[in-house]
Chains A and B, each alone.
Chain A
């Protein structure tokens, strides 16, 4: 299915500056594969090494968060509009909040060694 994909500013270096591009796929996963064929390197910014959607990347189909539509298995229809937005997130102190591995990154908090009560 041919769909329009809206590209966030930070990824437009992969699309020659284009903010909206056409790509094809019956599912979001297929779409991202197709996008990566047309614009090599873009999928690496969106997916973990295991092929799952990066925790801090938001993908929407017709304004719905794909995480509620089956994530990468979300189905696409002709004329759908897919939007990609990096998460707006951060934190004050320490490392990333403990979470499943996100592919690349500096890992989470290490537990402190037990205090010697002596």
Chain B
């Protein structure tokens, strides 16, 4: 179970909408399945079908997460036209096996759908995600 605060959820939806029609991505830091901090980073590819976090920025964020004593608990990205389920590319490139992969589908712009998955060795398992009332740190 992955828990995310409602402010953080809104930040992710806003980030995905702002990047639309390109995919958006974000890194989620926290502990024990709870998201404490959202890093809404640019999609360096700026593409509607691909996302990548710029390598130097990735290192900076991962170092900060480590310095804060947190873990990378989630990797978020949006699908602008397809469902909230990992694509073949998502599965091939999923190399953070301790993080949940969150996907927000904007196929219906009025009703975004958020789902999360564990992806390990090409195997996809859905992870329940709960949006809670608490506020976390989003930025």
- Residues on A lying within 8 angstroms of B by beta carbon are 8-10, 56, 58, 60, 63-65, 67, 83, 85-97, 105-106
Contacts and interface: CB of A to CB of B under 8 A. Distances in A.
Contacts of A60: 55-56, 59
Interface of B: 23, 25, 27, 45, 47-53, 55-56, 58-59, 62-63, 75, 77-82, 86-90, 92-98, 101
A64 B56 CA distance: 7
Contacts of B97: 9-10
A91 B50 contact: yes
Given A58-B59, A65-B55, A83-B59, A92 B93 contact: no
A90 B47 contact: no
Nearest to A93: B82
B89 A95 contact: yes
B4 to A, nearest CB: 18
B97 to A, nearest CB: 6
A89 B49 contact: no
Given A85-B55, A88-B25, A56 B49 contact: no
A92 B81 contact: yes
B23 A86 contact: no
B95 A86 contact: yes
Given A65-B56, A91-B23, A97 B47 contact: yes
- Top 3 closest A-B pairs, CB basis? A86-B95, A91-B89, A89-B52
A106 B88 contact: yes
